[in-house]
Amino acid sequence: MAKAISHHDALIYAMVTMSAVDRTMTDAELSRIGNIVNNLPVFRDFDAEKLVQTAEDCGEILSADGGLDLVLNLIVETVPKKLHETAYALAVEVAAADLAVEQEELRLLEMMQDKLHIDALTKAAIERGARARHSAA
């Protein structure tokens, strides 16, 4: 049984899971996670010194049998409903960080959309915003 986690931990789990799902955690993805934690208001009261340990805790859960389902359930159960769109948006940001979204990442986004009950219009808006932020000239 996994230990109780905070909503901050669960949001970080969403990002770490997205980064790890294709078995390649790129520097761009890891840098994006750090920037998000250090700059977004949702993490204002999170101790950024705990980021590495939180990411390691997530990785440990993911490596166990049924780990992906367990992490997704932890995210859904821990993140308040008002932050479900935020959790999805953070996962999208990490997927877009290295400018190459792999099939595994797309599948995980579908799973997150379903579990977090993100409607199609909201999903499209979040994804379009990420594309705009990560587009090159």
**CATH number of the domain within which 81 lies:** 1.10.3680
* Residue 128 confidence (pLDDT): 92
> CA-CA distance, 87 to 78, in Å (whole number)?
11
- For residue 87, tell me if it sits in a domain: yes
In a domain, 117, yes or no: yes
Report, as an integer, the average pLDDT of 109-129. Answer: 96
Average pLDDT over all residues of the chain: 92
Residue 1 belongs to some domain of the structure: no
Pair of tokens at residue 78: 């821990």
- Nearest CA among 26, 120, 136 for reference residue 15: 26
Q: Is residue 137 part of a domain?
A: no
pLDDT in tens, 60-95: 999 999 999 999 999 999 999 999 999 999 999 999
| The model's pTM | 0.93
- Asked whether residue 2 is domain-assigned, the answer is no
Distance CA 124, CA 130 (A): 10
Rounded to 5°, angle at Cα 29 from 60 and 52: 40
pLDDT at 39 over 70: yes
Give residue 51's Cα distance to chain centre.
13
pLDDT score of 117 more than 70: yes
Confidence tier at 137 by pLDDT (50, 70, 90): low
Per-residue tokens: 1? 């049984």
DSSP conformation class of 43 = G
Q: pLDDT tens digits, residue range 2-16? A: 578 999 999 999 999
Q: How far is CA 120 from CA 31, 47, 58, in A?
A: 29, 34, 28
| Number of neighbours of residue 129 by Cβ within 10 angstroms | 14
Does residue 44 lie within any of the structural domains? yes
Question: How many distinct structural domains can be found in the chain?
Answer: 1
Give residue 34's domain range. Answer: 7-132
Domain assignment of residue 40, yes or no:
yes
Task: Identify the band that residue 131 occupies on the pLDDT scale cut at 50, 70 and 90.
Answer: confident
For residue 86, the Cα-to-chain-centroid distance in whole angstroms is 9
Residue 116 belongs to a domain: yes
